[in-house]
Amino acid sequence: MKKVLLVFIVLAFVACQSGNSKKTTGQAPETTAELVETTINVGGMHCDMCVASIEKGINELEGISFVKASLDDSTAVVKFDASKTDLIQIEKAIEKRGYSIKEGM
């Protein structure tokens, strides 16, 4: 009986370990995210709906990890993966919603 139990334990251990081996599927390795944080000065913000619209427009882009627009200082703080999007695309998303990009203050 002890031999049967021992064989069962060994087989269970071997079966569990076979799933841990790293398998390659022929896919290219994933690129590491290059997170960039920037503050964009936005013109034309007047209310909370403006804030929500800007945040929604930016969040629709691929690679956005964080966005927070502020009515107090008319800015949008954005964290994004530079390998998936860039500042130009983010600014275009803001302008597409009817707002302007102001030069840094």
Q: Taking the CA atoms of 91, 96, 41 and 55 in sequence, report the sign of the dihedral they define.
A: negative
User: Is pLDDT of 98 > 50?
Assistant: yes
Q: By CB neighbour count within 10 A (0-12 exposed, 13-18 middle, 19+ buried), where does 45 fall?
A: buried
Class of domain 35-102: alpha beta
**The pLDDT of residue 63:** 96
**The pLDDT of residue 5:** 47
- 27-86 confidence digits (pLDDT tens): 555 667 789 999 999 999 999 999 999 999 999 999 999 999 999 999 999 999 999 999
Q: At what angle do helices 87-96 and 48-59 cross, to 10 degrees?
A: 140
- 1-22 confidence digits (pLDDT tens): 555 545 556 555 555 555 555 5
**The pLDDT of residue 4:** 52
**The pLDDT of residue 2:** 55
